[in-house]
Chain A
Amino acid sequence: MTFSGGRCSAGWVSPLAAGPLGCFVVWRRMSYFGASIAHAALLGVALGLILGIDLTLGIALTGVVFAIAIVFLQRHTRLASDTLLGILAHAALAAGLVAISSRQGLRVDLLGYLFGDILAVSQADLVWIYLGGGLSLAVLAAVWRGLLAITVHEELARAEGVHVLAIQLIFALLLAIVIAVSMKIVGVLLIISLLIIPAAAARPFAKTPEQMAILAALIGAVAVAAGLGASYHWDTPSGPSVVMAAFAMFLASLAAASFQRR
């Protein structure tokens, strides 16, 4: 397989959806929540392999179920949110690893799932990436106002008639979808960085939530392009290369912001 233009364009799609969604992850301080859904994705890979269904679908479904479980457990437990997430995320990751390794005879590129492998993106994956990315952007645009309202103040939004639980579930669903379609590129363990690093890098230059979302999408897209380019030239793994590129842009943003303040 060669490094085709099709795959590179797939690389562009997921950060365009991950950037704006990542802004909400940052605003709502939910990066651990996002990371937990990503950890559960490996369980989705295992289920997909065992049930013989498409892996992206398996990951998205597992992510959705996992996210809904978290939202409801958070309402019905005394455990602090981060404790609960820590328990569930690592249990899911461990279950995924056990399930995959127990299927002897399955030829699975575990490192590819954990850290991403753009070369493993198939024609079917491309369709998923376009569909999933496009759909999640459309849904995000539709719930934008309500999501922003509950981000500002959940109770206030609820008192004013916003369907908080419905929007929370939709948000979790979008996270699961974006994680599923981005996983091929950056992998389970690094995916949260594609959500939060572009958002954090965009913050100093944004005056409105929308500006920050668009900037984060662009920064993510540039990071993926630069990371995949580096991966192609120096034969480095695609996921870590993309994250390094995003991190470099974050450092540049920090420097520019402190220069601006002077």
Chain B
Amino acid sequence: MTLTTAAPALAELHGITVRYNGRTVLDHVDLLVERGQIVTVIGPNGSGKTTLARVLLGLVQPDKGTVRRGNDIVIGYVPQRVNIDSTLPLSVRRFLKLAARRDGVDIVGALTEVGTAHLLDADISSLSGGELQRVLLARALLRDPDLLVLDEPTQGVDFAGQIALYHLIGEIRDRHGCGVLTISHDLHLVMAATDRVICLNHHICCSGEPESVRIHPEYVALFGPKASEDLAIYSHCHAHNHDLAGNVVEGDGAHQHVDHQP
């Protein structure tokens, strides 16, 4: 890490254009992720979000544009879907050992950080959606990433779990100081833990701080007026939270629980 610059760019994409079978999936898209920053790409289905992440990861070669990744940066990737055949006998411990040659203490540490230490010896194909997402996050953390790329990290996770997961992502950023690129289809969910939002629909519709994107005409046009309504639309009035095992825990004030607004 260099000390001369406060926020060195981890990854910089410039003028990215990708075409599949004559269809333009990405059209001159720029993206910058800096250390310690959470950037969220939101957009409707088929808007090119995942393709953008894949370009950043080097899995897709853009037809036009430049991809610059920082020197020797390690990227931790959490893909959208992981289907492991149930004929493969693989414990969570072993699954994590495949990611990085680390000892048991590190593995337990990473699992503890994401709140799934109790799953250490569970079979990977027996996990629920939320559990699997957290184990995948632990897997990415074990690589000591400079940059985390999370593609729809809340797939198959229930609502309370989604909020908890985004909260966790914010914590991880604070603790590790890594940059984070998140892909989501729901701005409200990610608002609390996002520094910058990029609203994508093949091209960049608008970008900026979450609050400014929420009221941006292009965002409203893309997601409908409902999407820009007040946050209270999804808030709950619980006085407590649940941990992953479903037990009631003290509310930590990490996300606001307020009364429903009409």
Contacts and interface: CB of A to CB of B under 8 A. Distances in A.
B56 to A, nearest CB: 10
Contacts of A156: 77, 79, 82
B77 A159 contact: yes
A153 B98 CA distance: 11
B98 A203 contact: no
Contacts of B90: 152, 208-209
A153 B79 contact: yes
Contact of B89 (A151, A155, A200, A203): A203
Contact of B87 (A148, A159, A203, A208): A203
A57 interface: no
Interface residues of B, number: 20
Contacts of A101: none
Contacts of B143: 160
On chain A, which size bracket covers the interface?
Answer: 20 to 34
A29 B88 CA distance: 11
A62 B94 CA distance: 37
Given A152-B84, A159-B59, A160-B99, A207 B79 contact: no
A27 B95 CA distance: 15
Contact of B75 (A29, A151, A153, A159): A159
A199 B89 CA distance: 12
Contacts of B95: 152
Given A145-B98, A149-B98, A152-B82, A158 B87 contact: no
B58 interface: yes
A208 B84 CA distance: 14
Contacts, number: 54
Contacts of B85: 26-29, 151
Contacts of B91: 207-208
B57 interface: yes
A212 B79 contact: no
B91 to A, nearest CB: 7
Interface string A28-41: 11000000000000
A206 interface: yes
Contacts of B57: 159
A28 B85 CA distance: 8
Contacts of B75: 159
B87 A27 contact: yes
A211 B89 contact: yes
Contact of B79 (A28, A155, A200): A155
Most chain A CB within a 10 A radius of its CB, from B79, B85, B89, B99: B89
A158 B75 CA distance: 12
Nearest to B149: A159
A158 B54 CA distance: 11
A53 B4 CA distance: 67
Contacts of A211: 89
A46 to B, nearest CB: 35
A211 B88 CA distance: 11
B77 A26 contact: no
Contact of B88 (A155, A200, A209): A209
A149 B143 CA distance: 15
A148 B98 CA distance: 8
Contact of A209 (B54, B59, B89): B89
A20 B59 CA distance: 30
A153 B136 CA distance: 11
A158 B59 contact: yes
A245 to B, nearest CB: 22
A218 to B, nearest CB: 16
Contacts of A158: 59
B74 to A, nearest CB: 9
Interface in A135-174: 145, 148-149, 151-153, 155-156, 158-160
Contacts of A208: 89-91, 94
B14 to A, nearest CB: 21
Interface string A115-141: 000000000000000000000000000
A152 B89 contact: no
B82 A153 contact: yes
A212 to B, nearest CB: 6
Interface in A189-209: 199-200, 203, 206-209
Contacts of B87: 26-27, 199-200, 203
A-B residue pairs, 9 tightest by C-beta: A27-B88, A159-B77, A159-B57, A206-B89, A26-B87, A153-B82, A27-B85, A156-B79, A203-B87
Interface of B: 54, 57-59, 75, 77, 79, 82, 84-85, 87-91, 94-95, 98-99, 143
8 contacts: A28-B85, A145-B98, A148-B98, A153-B84, A156-B82, A160-B99, A199-B87, A207-B91
